[in-house]
A and B are shown apart, each in its own frame.
Chain A
Amino acid sequence: MSGVRVLVGTKKGAFVLTADGKRKNWEVSGPHFGGWEIYHVKGSPADPNRLYASQSSGWFGQVLQRSDDGGKTWQVPGGEAMPAPDSGGRPGQSNKFVYEGEVGKHLWYDGSPHPWEFKRVWHLEPSLTDPDTVYAGVEDAALFRSTDGAATWHELSGLRHHGSGPAWQPGAGGLAVHTVLLDPTNPQRMFVAISAAGVFRSEDGAQTWQATNRGLQSQYIPNPEAEVGHCVHRIAMHRSRPQVLFMQKHWDVMRTDDGADSWREISGNLPTDFGFVIDVHAHEPETVYVVPIKSDSEHYPPDGALRVYRSRTGGNEWEPLTNGLPQRDCYVNVLRDAMSIDALDPCGVYFGTTGGQVYGSPDGGDTWAPIVRDLPAVLSVEVQTLS
């Protein structure tokens, strides 16, 4: 029997929400890792029981957690006193993120050079084919990879050593690799997005990278069309068309049809083109979802009405989806990793808010209902489609 598992990261722990294919009745487990910030939880496409979670704290730093039973139990890889022979890697290394080679410097807020310093893992992207391989997008911006189930990590330093690295500068939220997209048709090809540097593409398995921001316009940097410096909030891909990407930028909703060689604006009739999340329908590659946010300083929906906007035309023409969502006095935000799509038919759409609600729609966005209402502020939402 089909079902879904929604993986929710919050400011104070992780939650796992499960339902059958009807997606009406939900079981909630958690908090897992209560009291810790859970930036991201994601399952392996190659083994849905294999989950990875990024757990962090201002006091105790980064911890990586792994589950091999769909989130029922968790362990820190290599964290046991005597690691089992098949646990992979050396003990106590799963939270060791050390930049490779010369650490170098990026720009600080005041424009001065500032050494790269690891702070936390923002995003975990498991391999499409190997459950033990997972990528980590981290702050300060860099990409790491583990091939032993998160027991040890190694930087893919070609990204940070891209010639523009010294010019990268943090936005208000920090300088982080927050999105990692793997091309399902070409294992050598991947994309990352960095706030506030932009989109980068690799064609050689993350060894070398090209800045791919042509067409972006950002008025908050000295040269609005600069090669880097764009505050990209999120990019999304439909697995059937890896050449087409959609982007929610600091301002502007964008799309590319040529693998990020060039971007064009598709904000169209949106009430505001500021926002964080963007995602693509599982079965309709031209159907896209965003949640418009009023402005870069007013991080809540316009008019206090929480509306998801859907375009069935690949952008420009957008319709508000309101059925079941609060339409007055709602002043929550939806953060960049807090929307996800299931692969059932009809397609389910999920998002979480900084007010602690997780909303789900079992019909592609036509109707919505809260799955949970009172979690800690939601940082991330991922969904697994289970068969």
Chain B
Amino acid sequence: MIRVVLPAHLRTLARVDGEVMVELNRPPTLGAVLDALENSFPVLQGTIRDHVTHKRRDFVRFFACEEDLSHEPPTVSLPPAVVNGTEPLLIVGAIAGG
């Protein structure tokens, strides 16, 4: 199981508290986690990445193990600590404002 931390507004939208857990039946890549997340929570489709192109929305970031995966392709493998559940994948709303 992969642990995913959603930003507050998306937790509200998905009607969940705290972390969510997603199960993968394919190699643990960033794209596979997002696919599984949207499959479990259809309301999140289009809010993290584009419906059609799957391009990450401009002001959404993906962090894991203190690394920024935002600009990695969806085929990038997740760090082992995320795969084994020690660390979560963080989905973050980019900082805005002054």
Are these two chains actual partners, yes or no? yes
Known contacts A63-B47, A92-B42, A96-B46, A57 near B13 by CB under 8 Å: no
Q: Is B60 touching A59 in the complex (CB atoms < 8 A)?
A: yes
Instruction: Verify if A49 is at the interface (C-beta below 8 Å from B).
Output: no
Residues of B53-70 at the interface with A, using a CB-CB cut-off of 8 Å, are 57, 59-60
How many residues of chain A have a CB within 8 Å of chain B? 21
Instruction: Verify if A95 is at the interface (C-beta below 8 Å from B).
Output: yes
Please give, as numbers and ranges, the residues of chain A lying within 8 Å of B51 by CB-CB distance. 95-96, 98
Tally of contacts, chain A with chain B, CB under 8 A: 59
Residues of B25-77 at the interface with A, using a CB-CB cut-off of 8 Å, are 38, 40-48, 51-52, 57, 59-60
Q: Is B57 touching A76 in the complex (CB atoms < 8 A)?
A: no
Instruction: Verify if B79 is at the interface (C-beta below 8 Å from A).
Output: no
Assembled-state Cα–Cα distance A98/B46 (Å): 11
Q: Is A60 touching B9 in the complex (CB atoms < 8 A)?
A: yes
Q: Is B46 touching A92 in the complex (CB atoms < 8 A)?
A: yes
Please give, as numbers and ranges, the residues of chain A lying within 8 Å of B40 by CB-CB distance. 81
Question: Which of A57, A78, A92, A96 has the most B CB atoms < 10 Å from its CB?
Answer: A92
Instruction: Verify if A36 is at the interface (C-beta below 8 Å from B).
Output: yes
Instruction: Verify if A212 is at the interface (C-beta below 8 Å from B).
Output: no
Q: How far is the CB of B50 from chain A (nearest CB, A)?
A: 8
Q: Is A58 touching B45 in the complex (CB atoms < 8 A)?
A: no
Known contacts A59-B60, A59-B93, A95 near B13 by CB under 8 Å: no
Q: Is A92 touching B38 in the complex (CB atoms < 8 A)?
A: yes
Fill in one digit per residue for A35-74: 1 if any B CB lies within 8 Å of its CB, else 0: 1100000000000000000000111111100000000000
Residues of A301-316 at the interface with B, using a CB-CB cut-off of 8 Å, are none
Please give, as numbers and ranges, the residues of chain A lying within 8 Å of B13 by CB-CB distance. 60, 63, 76, 79
Q: Is B57 touching A59 in the complex (CB atoms < 8 A)?
A: yes
Instruction: Verify if A91 is at the interface (C-beta below 8 Å from B).
Output: yes
Nearest residue, chain B, Cβ from A58: B59
Q: How far is the CB of A60 from chain B (nearest CB, A)?
A: 4
Please give, as numbers and ranges, the residues of chain B lying within 8 Å of A63 by CB-CB distance. 13, 43, 47
Assembled-state Cα–Cα distance A78/B38 (Å): 12
- CB within 8 A of A60: which of B38, B42, B48? B48
Instruction: Verify if B5 is at the interface (C-beta below 8 Å from A).
Output: no
Q: Is A59 touching B59 in the complex (CB atoms < 8 A)?
A: yes
Question: Which of B40, B47, B48, B57 has the most A CB atoms < 10 Å from its CB?
Answer: B47
- CB within 8 A of B42: which of A35, A58, A81, A98? A81
Nearest residue, chain A, Cβ from B10: A60
Instruction: Verify if A100 is at the interface (C-beta below 8 Å from B).
Output: no
Please give, as numbers and ranges, the residues of chain B lying within 8 Å of A36 by CB-CB distance. 9
Q: Is B42 touching A78 in the complex (CB atoms < 8 A)?
A: yes
Assembled-state Cα–Cα distance A88/B33 (Å): 27
Nearest residue, chain B, Cβ from A36: B9
Known contacts A58-B59, A61-B57, A95 near B42 by CB under 8 Å: no
Question: Which of A35, A79, A83 has the most B CB atoms < 10 Å from its CB?
Answer: A79
Assembled-state Cα–Cα distance A60/B52 (Å): 15
Q: Is A79 touching B46 in the complex (CB atoms < 8 A)?
A: no
Nearest residue, chain B, Cβ from A82: B42
Please give, as numbers and ranges, the residues of chain A lying within 8 Å of B96 by CB-CB distance. 58-59
Q: How far is the CB of A368 from chain B (nearest CB, A)?
A: 34
Please give, as numbers and ranges, the residues of chain A lying within 8 Å of B42 by CB-CB distance. 78-81, 83, 91-92
Instruction: Verify if A147 is at the interface (C-beta below 8 Å from B).
Output: no
- CB within 8 A of A76: which of B43, B48, B93? B43
Assembled-state Cα–Cα distance A83/B42 (Å): 9
Some 24 contacts from A to B, beta carbons below 8 A apart, are A35-B9, A57-B9, A58-B59, A58-B96, A59-B9, A59-B94, A60-B7, A60-B60, A61-B46, A61-B57, A63-B13, A79-B13, A79-B42, A81-B41, A91-B42, A92-B38, A92-B43, A92-B44, A92-B45, A92-B46, A95-B45, A95-B51, A96-B45, A96-B46
B contacts, CB < 8 Å to A = 7, 9-10, 13, 38, 40-48, 51-52, 57, 59-60, 93-94, 96
Q: A61-B46, A95-B45 are in contact. List 20 more A-B contacts (CB 8 A).
A: A36-B9, A57-B9, A58-B59, A59-B9, A59-B96, A60-B9, A60-B13, A60-B47, A60-B57, A60-B60, A62-B46, A63-B43, A83-B42, A91-B45, A92-B38, A92-B46, A93-B45, A95-B47, A95-B51, A98-B52
Nearest 3 CB-CB pairs, A to B?
A92-B42, A79-B43, A92-B45
